[in-house]
Amino acid sequence: MKKVTAIYPGSFDPPTNGHLDLIERGSHIFDELVVAILRNPEKSPLFTVGERRRMLEELTAGFKNIRVDTFGGLTVDYAAKVKAGAVLRGIRALSDYEYELQMALMNRKLRPDLETVFMMPAEQYSYLSSRLVREVAKLGGGISGLVPELVERRLREKLDPGRKLKRNSGGT
Ligand code: PNS
């Protein structure tokens, strides 16, 4: 049987429990899954690419068929470089669909033999995004249960080593 490698491209700034949920689901259906962090010089991220890579490596260390890498340029070119046959993307709600469809079809135009596979994260993560996690954490709100503990610690260190993020969400 032909082995299928998939890439899971994204910003992962920071990785959330929604990303981890999708990575686990992807690891069950693909022979190999490469979590690919985009090196985007146009964005000013909270975490450096190296920091995000180290977090994701630690978080996925228990999976035998997952590795973490970084890439620049087009996703389709990176997919060709690692001989991936599929791109994994998560769809949380209808609002994601339009942008994801556009990207998937553009990627298909650029490389017709590369399939995009959409998966849904568990419903408790359907409202979760890295952007919201960054915003809530910056403003001192609780983010436990939304990101892995390792990420919560890194966020606390990054944002203000002196300030304690509230342990439980629901606070203001
Ligand atoms: O986590 P994100 O920010 O939603 O991920 C977006 C990402 C990295 C998948 C997308 O911006 C991307 O593929 N960028 C690489 C450049 C590229 O290939 N652009 C054309 C996509 S249609």
Q: Which residues are catalytic?
A: 19, 43, 92, 130
Domain CATH for 96: 3.40.50.620
Predicted pLDDT at 165: 56
pTM for the predicted model, two decimal places: 0.93
Predicted pLDDT at 42: 83
In a domain? residue 61: yes
Q: Which residues contact 10 (CB under 8 A, 6 or more apart)?
A: 19, 35, 36, 37, 38
Q: What is the mean pLDDT of residues 4-8?
A: 98
Which residue, by CA, sits nearest to atom 13 of ligand 1?
A: 75
In a domain? residue 45: yes
What total of structural domains would you count in the chain? 1
* 73 compared with 168, residue with greater pLDDT: 73
Which residue, by CA, sits nearest to atom 4 of ligand 1?
A: 10
Least confident of 4-8, 15-19, 49-53, 159-163: 159-163
CA of 74 to the centre of ligand 1 (A): 8
Q: Return the best residue to mutate from 12, 42, 74, 107 for the ligand 1 pocket (most ligand atoms within 8 A of CB).
A: 74
pLDDT digits (tens, 9 = 90+) for 59-108: 999 999 999 999 999 999 999 999 999 999 999 998 899 999 999 999 99
The number of beta carbons lying within 10 Å of the beta carbon of residue 8 is: 27
Q: Give the single-character DSSP code of 74.
A: -
- Ligand 1 atom with the smallest distance to the CA of 36 is 8
In a domain? residue 66: yes
Give the chain's largest Cα–Cα span: 54
Q: CB within 6 Å of ligand 1 — which residues? A: 9-11, 38, 74-75, 103, 106-107
In a domain? residue 144: no
* Structural domain span for residue 29: 5-127
Predicted pLDDT at 30: 98
Q: What is the mean pLDDT of the chain?
A: 93
In a domain? residue 42: yes
Residue 2: pLDDT over 90:
no
In a domain? residue 39: yes
- Dihedral (C-alpha) 64, 52, 87, 34: value to the nearest 10 degrees? -30
CA of 76 to the centre of ligand 1 (A): 10
Q: For residue 120, how far is the Cα from the chain centroid?
A: 13
In a domain? residue 136: no
Alpha-carbon gap, residue 33 to 5, rounded angstroms: 6
- Ligand 1 atom with the smallest distance to the CA of 13 is 1
Alpha-carbon gap, residue 17 to 122, rounded angstroms: 10
Predicted pLDDT at 43: 83
